[in-house]
Amino acid sequence: MVFSQALLGAIASSGGLSPYAGYFAGGGAFTTVDRFTFTDDSRTTLATGLSANSDMGTAMANSNVAGYVHIGVEASRVDTVDKFAASTDVRSTLGSGLSAAAYACGAMANDGTAGYIGGGSAASGNVGTVDKFAFPGDSRSTLGTGLSVGRNRLAGLANSGTAGYFGGGYPPNRSTVDKFAFSDDSRSTLGTGLSSARSSLAGMANSGTAGYFCGGWTGSNVNTVDKFAFSDDSRSTLGTGMSYDGNGPGGMANSGVAGYVGGGDDGGNVNTVNKFAFSDDGRTTLSTGLSTTPYTPAAFANCEAL
């Protein structure tokens, strides 16, 4: 069951269910996890952050249950995956992390069923591996068919219940968008990829309607937002992109309401958070940004009633 934002706020204020929220985690030398409550976009910072600094991490969520952050560390690759319980924001660390230590992976999730972490830079080089974590037990398997090309600095997003997408990446900068059907985890590659080859981009999705790949690096920082309609995977590009040229932002969404893109490098690291209303793709900028200025923060969202 999905509740209205107003009802969730009333329930939360009476001490009942918690409101929906999105999270930006790590980035640069930070372990910080900022939480944005969707009822009013107010920000708090979790008392317990990540288990280690994450300068090139990625994240996914099983809404109503937990969010997952892979600790991406460029200087010393790790396989660590931190888990944050949606009901309490308490952090634990999975006993089985990635199948190989890596950084700059992409992630997406089939809500209620499984999460996927793919690509990245491992000791062996750029990989196309896609690890699958079955919810709620968090057991890990590795897909027989990985990405169409091994790459790092890619982004993921998902049309929950139908398919997940991994877009962009490096090296070299790529426009490739791979699609994984959740029914059997089979992979196809979209005939129309991103509007420009780029890496260090963010992904967010309005499940059932469209996915958005935001910002990135083409050889310079860009503010481009590409929108893929889930009905036919056709691509358009928003007339209004991000308010800044963002290399390495994080992205997450309150599905059915709005998507959020924040952090990254615009000639210097920023704490800006842009909000895109899914009703018309109109963009605003939150008056309260991130508590830090993170490069490549990982982002995830709990967008179902607890």
pLDDT of 19 > 90? The answer is no
pLDDT tens profile 225-259 = 999 999 999 999 999 999 999 999 999 999 999 99
CATH no. of 5-302: 2.120.10.80
pLDDT band of residue 303 (cuts 50, 70, 90) is confident
Q: What is the DSSP string of the chain?
A: ----HHHHHHHHHTTSSPPPEEEEE--TT---EEEEETTTTEEEE-SS--SS--SS-EEEEETTTEEEEE---SSS-B--EEEEETTT--EEE-SS--SS-EES-EEEEETTTEEEEE--EETTEE---EEEEETTTTEEEE-SS--SS--BS-EEEEETTTEEEEE--BTTTB--EEEEETTT--EEE-SS--SS-BBS-EEEEETTTEEEEEEEESSSEEEEEEEEETTT--EEE-SS--SS--BS-EEEEETTTEEEEE--BSSSB---EEEEETTT--EEE-SS--SS--SS-EEEEE-S--
Residue 1 has pLDDT above 80, yes or no: no
116-143: pLDDT as tens digits:
999 999 999 999 999 999 999 999 999 9
pTM, two decimal places? 0.93
pLDDT of residue 290 exceeding 70: yes
